[in-house]
């Protein structure tokens, strides 16, 4: 089972965190300088849920936002 939501297709996204140091020009400094750029991944909050689909019971991974909508029949 992959790390993707069964309904909306939400999956992990790559992002980053930029660390800056210095005093802003607006505040009288020489500007903010980039010190570090850390790459990271943002994982969706997936839960295993048993649903009935077409008369059969399946275990699928759903993100919590799809679970809150309630657009499925729990088994």
The model carries a pTM of: 0.71
Looking up tokens 């980053």 gives 16
- Residue by residue, pLDDT tens for the chain (75 residues) are 689 999 999 999 999 999 999 999 999 999 999 999 999 999 999 999 999 998 999 999 999 999 999 999 998
Residue 32 lies in a domain: yes
Q: Is residue 74 part of a domain?
A: no
Strand partners, 57: 52
Q: Which of 60, 25, 32, 57 is nearest to 46 (CA)?
A: 60
The answer to whether 21 and 8 have CB atoms below 8 angstroms apart is no
Does some domain include residue 26? yes
Residues spanned by the domain of 49? 13-69
Whether residue 6 lies inside any domain: the answer is: no
Looking at the 3D structure of the chain, how many domains does it have? 1
Are residues 8 and 65 in contact, defined by beta-carbon separation less than 8 angstroms? yes
Tell me whether residue 3 is in a domain. Answer: no
Residue 66, both tokens:
């799809």
CA distance 64 to 57: 20
């Amino acid at each position: 089972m992959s790390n993707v939501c069964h309904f909306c297709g939400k999956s992990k996204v790559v992002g980053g965190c930029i660390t800056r140091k210095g005093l802003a020009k607006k505040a009288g400094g020489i500007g903010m300088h980039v010190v570090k750029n850390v790459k990271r991944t943002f994982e969706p909050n997936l839960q295993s849920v048993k649903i009935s689909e077409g008369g059969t019971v399946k275990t699928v991974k759903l993100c919590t936002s799809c679970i809150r909508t309630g657009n499925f029949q729990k088994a």
